[in-house]
């Protein structure tokens, strides 16, 4: 395995992470708000505060999941190859 193989694997893991992050956010939002979907920025029936809180929560969850996936992938790659991946 070479470092060049890390990039495609990281891309696949990133897509999977995005799907996982969306599932986590949906569950957290449902628990916090009691609603099935978070408000979109253009939704007329929500206040600025509701829209921005939803966006901040979503961003935090996506950032956390992305960092965890990236770190786990790099660590796993190092365990398999003995080298830390260069991006």
Q: Does 6 score more than 60 pLDDT?
A: yes
Which one, of 76, 81, 32, lies nearest residue 57 by Cα? 32
Extents of the domains making up the chain: 3-80
* pLDDT at residue 5, as a whole number: 82
Q: Kindly report the average pLDDT of the chain as a whole number.
A: 91
* pLDDT at residue 7, as a whole number: 87
pLDDT digits (tens, 9 = 90+) for 31-63: 999 999 999 999 999 999 999 999 999 999 999
Query: What are the DSSP calls for 26-52, one per residue?
Result: HHHHHHHHS-SSPPPTT-TTS-HHHHH
């Amino acid at each position: 395995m070479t470092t060049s193989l890390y990039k495609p694997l990281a891309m696949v893991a990133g897509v999977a992470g995005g799907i996982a992050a969306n599932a986590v956010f949906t569950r957290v939002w449902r628990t916090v708000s009691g609603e099935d979907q978070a408000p979109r920025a253009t939704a007329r029936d929500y206040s600025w505060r509701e829209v921005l809180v939803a966006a901040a929560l979503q961003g935090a969850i996506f950032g956390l999941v992305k960092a965890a996936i990236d770190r786990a992938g790099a660590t796993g790659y190092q365990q398999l190859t003995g080298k830390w991946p260069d991006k």
